[in-house]
Structure 1
């Protein structure tokens, strides 16, 4: 299957174009050992063929060990788990939004724009002096992903075309 991977960035917190607030939508820190970390990634990624959707327990353990500093945050709507954001801090200081998404039952409910707004605001606050936030998305991800990133103020800095594994 052909795939286009788009890499996007923000280089100033003022570039964020905030979506209208959604009452009841929150972003809260998750412990790394929370069962929701794996559960939500699988539920978010399964419809789009993310590798995480088919990992074994041993593969998840290895994945966690490879990323000991990754931070996870729960997107909740009226107290129910609705999605996940995961962050990696890089030198520079740069923050990568490694995972962002909503579980299927919360897509199509006009939550994505504000969920991304909360996620980006948090990304700017994770380390002192953050100068860049970046992420990537794929043409086989949710069709609203790339337009949502652009509406929130991200700009595409690189695209890669290829075959998906």
Structure 2
């Protein structure tokens, strides 16, 4: 990315599993729980985030190690049949809050109609990470895929904060 660009970050949340508006199932799309130190996490994140200039695409080995080793980290691969189609990872916090810290599909699956259902599965996973989950949240940006925020809204997420700045 050349120069600085304006970015609007939108933070969205659900406060009940009943808020989820599931997308229609897509045959062959599943989640696979993997340990945070899986060798597939970093390259899949890079494949998803490079085109959107996610900060994680420039992290050092040490930054990745610290991120993946945080207590409360959980990761799932989004599979389409046997192929890795995307990734979601989660950070569990005290008092029942779960942040979806990464969600996305790899470039060859963008626009193939799996994102809504993959998000449905990921949100369901977030709600099931612990019996005490009371809130699932995430943030997206105007620099992300243009369908990201509408997908989150269609699944039932509500905006709780918006900020604008330069990146």
TM class by smaller structure:
over 0.9
**1:39 pairs with 2:37:** no
**Long gaps (5+) in structure 1:** none
Aligned to 1:10: 14
Q: Give the Å deviation of 1:74.
A: 0.6
SS of 2:11's equivalent in the other structure is: strand
Aligned to 2:81: 78
Q: Give the Å deviation of 1:131.
A: 1.0
Provide the TM-score with structure 1 as the length reference. 0.95
**Long gaps (5+) in structure 2:** none
In 1, the alpha carbon distance for the partners of 2:6 and 2:128 equals 36
Aligned length: 163
In 1, the alpha carbon distance for the partners of 2:119 and 2:52 equals 19
List structure 1 segments (4+ residues) > 6 angstroms apart after TM superposition.
none
In 1, the alpha carbon distance for the partners of 2:82 and 2:56 equals 25
Aligned to 2:92: 89
Aligned to 2:72: 69
Superposed CA RMSD in Å reads 1.1
In 2, the alpha carbon distance for the partners of 1:52 and 1:70 equals 16
SS of 1:126's equivalent in the other structure is: coil
Asked whether the equivalents of residues 79 and 86 of structure 2 are also in contact (C-alpha less than 8 Å), the reply is yes
Alignment of 1:100-139 (within 5 A): 100-139=103-142
Provide the TM-score with structure 2 as the length reference. 0.94
In 2, the alpha carbon distance for the partners of 1:130 and 1:57 equals 31
